[in-house]
Structure 1
Amino acid sequence: MEENTAPARSFAHTDHDDLGIVVGVDGSEISYQAVAWAAVEADTRGCALHIVTSYANPIVPGATELDPEDMRDLRLQGQQVLADAASLAAHAVPGKSLHIRTELIFDMITGALIERSRRAQLLVVGNRGLGAIRRAVLGSVSTALTRHAHCPVAVVHGMSETDPAASSKPVVVGVDGSLNSVPAIDLAFDEASRRKVDLIAVHAWTDTSGFDLPVMGWESIRESQDVLLKGALADYAKRYPDVTVHRVVALDTPVRALLEQADKAQLVVVGSHGRGGFAGMMLGSVSTALLHLAQCPVLVVRQPSQTRAEEPAGQ
């Protein structure tokens, strides 16, 4: 493992075990967009940015039988990817005192990122992309991380929303009434507060008879569901009086309801899975679908008990 700190800047955080925000990069354009997004996020949180890449053999994980010259070339490519990523991160927050660390490893990237997530505030990756080093398809990595990471995971898509125009867009959160959505709501309020933007709380109500049939008394149902949604948000609204909340109760599938709001958002926050008191919203399938379909970054938050109960898939 090789670790570098680039370049020396002031940094107030004193917990050396805290890696801050960890971002995986593989040399692809989408992974560099993830780095830029992670840099902005680290700046708003006042924490470090830890950039990781791997030059492990993609065909034979952990193989060391490569020709020494090939190994050297892979290592040099990895170092260049890190240098480019660090430079891009610095440019994403010009004039800011962002502490940037880079780490070059010879381990499969998924397991390495899961391990580092134990000491991270947030893990960030692109939703897909095969990089110049040709060893990690971040599409599969992102899916594994959202299931097994020990911290929230942000998956950045083609539009990283780091431009000034996007900074005024709202944050969207999916609310299903289960315990699994509680950490998502908490983090969504925090994100909206730090970004100084509105929060759109989305709850999708479905009828088992399907959407092709009319739902009798929908307005009454919508009002009752809105009361439940308002109650679920009440404590957070008191803790974050600076955040303007817009409640949306939709007669639709959770995926469609969230995607409709995601089109005008800078970030969507969801729980990893769970069916709660609000019938019809299973965030396991929802979070997976959003990873593939949403154009803005998707932040997946898991219950701590879920992380502890499951063994990570290391490869």
Structure 2
Amino acid sequence: MKADGPILVGVDGSEQSRTAVSWAVAEAELRGAEVHLVVVEDRPAHDEDRWHMVRELGDHVRLEHPLVEIHERIVRGHPAQRLVSRSAKARMVVVGARGRGAITAALLGSVSVHLAMHAQCPVVVVRDLPDPSGQVAAGVDGSPQSRAALGFAFEAAALHHTDLVAIHVRQERSPEHAAPQPPPGAEQDRADGLEVALAEWDERYPNVPVHRVVPHGRPVAELVAAARGARLLVVGHRGRGGFAAVQLGSVASGVLQHAPCPVAVVRDETQ
């Protein structure tokens, strides 16, 4: 990730990729970032139509956000791989929740999961434009690996002058899949780790009100419930505790499929 890099947006002409562009350009204006609209097209015969589409889209958002520098690009290759290859010099990658053409209708399958697993910057998947009065919600678990996600969430809340809801899910297990009881003090250790992580960012962002929520239940269901009415939901890559050991397995995949607001998947910077 490059902190002063552009925001990359995967564009395919679908309505949801247009929504992703609108979200990304508004975010870029707040962050003082450039926006690169990237079309992945392997058929040169379609270039003229693609250029027309992406330039028309760029011109439209320039009228709404004249202060944002916007560039259009057409590249060859696989959508996820091309966006991943450009992510090292970006501050985030943004895609729509569903697509067509090069960014396929299976976006919430291989493409978005591949991006979230391999991109070297945060990945934001946008289904609809969020409630402008909504809070930022973050799934946290008190682990060192969730630090980057929590920092991204605090920064977003500060930029939007809104509250942060920190959600630590104590996972509910069915009797037939019951795990061994954690060792004495394990829950307290997690709670202490959560408070340490929040305290660090509280100090950096003293004007962001923080609400701690500790529900018992299934992580996907609890995070999706928290996303209703939120402007952004942030989850980490490679968390533990309330989330599955493989963060981009059932939890993040489920959140990406069902959360009504934009979802940011933030990679652990040490990985």
| TM range, smaller chain | 0.7 to 0.9
Matched residue, 1:156: 126
Map 1:122-141 to 2 at 5 A.
Answer: 122-130=92-100, 134-137=101-104, 138-139=107-108, 140-141=110-111
TM-score norm. by structure 1 comes to 0.75
Gaps of 5+ in 2: 179-185
Quote the sequence identity (%): 37
Residue 293 in 1 paired to residue 258 in 2?
Answer: yes
Please tell me whether Structure 1 or Structure 2 has the larger radius of gyration of its CA atoms.
Answer: 1
Tell me the matched-pair count.
258
Matched residue, 1:76: 48
Gaps of 5+ in 1: 1-14, 58-70, 214-220, 307-315
> Structure 1 stretches (4+) deviating beyond 6 angstroms?
221-225
Deviation string 1:1-37 (CA, Å, 9 cap, x unpaired) is: xxxxxxxxxxxxxx9x964101010010001110111
Kept in 1: contact 2:135–2:232 (CA 8 A): yes
Residue type of the partner of 2:242? G
Residue type of the partner of 1:235? E
Matched residue, 1:62: none
Deviation string 1:135-160 (CA, Å, 9 cap, x unpaired) is: 32133322211111011100111x12
Instruction: Provide the C-alpha distance between the structure 2 equivalents of 1:227 and 1:180, rounded to a whole number of angstroms.
Output: 15
Instruction: Provide the C-alpha distance between the structure 2 equivalents of 1:142 and 1:80, rounded to a whole number of angstroms.
Output: 26
TM-score norm. by structure 2 comes to 0.87
Kept in 2: contact 1:126–1:142 (CA 8 A): no
Matched residue, 1:8: none
Per the alignment, do residues 265 and 223 of structure 1 end up closer, same or farther by CA in structure 2, a change over 3 Å counting?
farther
Per the alignment, do residues 225 and 117 of structure 1 end up closer, same or farther by CA in structure 2, a change over 3 Å counting?
closer
Matched residue, 1:12: none
Out of 105, 112, 117, the position equivalent to 1:142 is: 112
- TM-fit CA distance, 1:287: 1.4
> 2:67 is paired with a residue of what secondary structure?
coil
- TM-fit CA distance, 1:274: 2.5
Map 1:8-47 to 2 at 5 A.
Answer: 19-47=5-33
Residue type of the partner of 2:89? R
> 1:102 is paired with a residue of what secondary structure?
strand
Instruction: Provide the C-alpha distance between the structure 2 equivalents of 1:144 and 1:47, rounded to a whole number of angstroms.
Output: 24
Kept in 2: contact 1:175–1:203 (CA 8 A): yes
Residue type of the partner of 1:135? A
Kept in 2: contact 1:250–1:257 (CA 8 A): yes
